[in-house]
Amino acid sequence: MAISTRKKNIIIAEWKTGEYSFNALAKKHKISRETVRKICKDIPQENAQIVEVGTVYESAKKLAKNGQEIKAIESVVKDRLKVHDISNTILSGIEKLTKGGKAQKVVTESIGEAGSSATIVEYDLQADDYKKLQEAVDKASLTLGVNPRFAPSINIQNNNENTQNNNTLKVEWID
């Protein structure tokens, strides 16, 4: 018996949660364990961490004392997700722009008393354009938490041993 693509996708999605074994999925969908194994054998259970985080989030919300706290939490989470979505959209636009190497700008020309006319001019990106784009990427990486705001501090010690003038440089990363 052939399994529809829709059912395969459902089985794969459930497998990725990390919550189901081959046997459990076979029972749930009334198919053989071997069929489930063939469908899911090379697919990692990559969404298991998302399930864990979601469970912790929902449990923590329920521990909130009142409805206002829950609404405040949900509002802040929603706002942060908006920032992440906008930052990712900006990064996608920057990626397209840098790969193309060209940008456009509007140039207005005066036509005397009749007013002005606007023309779109395409030009190659210049060093200053790349610098501005890099700064935008850097800010987005901070916003998204990809890069830390401050580099980890470094503890450097310069030890002189006895009278032999052996200089030892000791570097330790402190998080």
What does each of the 175 residues of the chain score in pLDDT, given as a tens digit?
688 999 999 999 999 999 999 999 999 999 999 999 999 999 999 999 999 999 998 888 888 778 888 888 888 888 888 888 888 888 888 888 888 888 888 888 877 777 788 888 888 888 888 888 888 888 888 877 777 777 666 666 555 554 455 555 565 666 5
Q: Are residues 137 and 73 in the same domain?
A: yes
pTM exceeds 0.75, yes or no: no
Q: Are residues 80 and 125 in the same domain?
A: yes
Please, which residues have CB within 8 angstroms of residue 24's CB and are 6 or more apart in sequence? none
Q: Are residues 91 and 115 in the same domain?
A: yes
Show the domain range for 3: 1-63
User: Under a CB-based contact definition with an 8 Å cutoff, are residues 17 and 51 in contact?
Assistant: yes
